[in-house]
Amino acid sequence: IIFEDNHLLVINKKAGQLVQGDKTGDASLLDLIKDFIKKRDQKPGNVFLGLVHRIDRPTSGLVIYAKTSKALTRLTQMVKNREIKKIYWAVVANNPIAPKMRLVHYLQKNEKTNKATVFIKPTDNAKEAILNYEMICKLDNFQLLEIDLETGRHHQIRAQLSKMGAPIKGD
């Protein structure tokens, strides 16, 4: 727990943790936190905990949960209006890429394989995906990029960076 008050809870999610339940049936961070709050606060009934935003399972980072329905409504609206700024960092292969760039692609999600296919031009059933990145550190074998998403597509960052020849380390 990074921050908690009466309205919200900010968690530092580890890479590999599931933010909310899915078809795998694996324990989710949402369920683990609900159980923790129920025990810690000795709550007799169900614990309300609303997910404000998600990050992919392989990704580490901060996740915001709302402790009341009113807070969930307000925080979700703030995310939608981009009043809450989300910053992503990615360590990528040290291939020659521009130090700063805006990427526009079209992503098609494959539900069966849980993967995204990247296209350069509009394609059937593909959604526009836009991100901006800036290189903030360059090492011998890797680069650290700071990424700002304009859209939030399935596996967008990893798919777009890989398409341009800069796969995320470990992907």
What's the rounded Cα separation, in Å, for the pair 109 and 146?
Answer: 24
Out of 31, 56, 148, 171, the active site residue is 56
Tokens of 161: 């960076």
What's the rounded Cα separation, in Å, for the pair 92 and 60?
Answer: 15
What's the rounded Cα separation, in Å, for the pair 136 and 25?
Answer: 38
Active site residue 56: yes
Q: Which amino acid is at 140?
A: D
Q: Which of 35, 58, 57 is nearest to 46 (CA)?
A: 35
Positions annotated as catalytic residues are 56
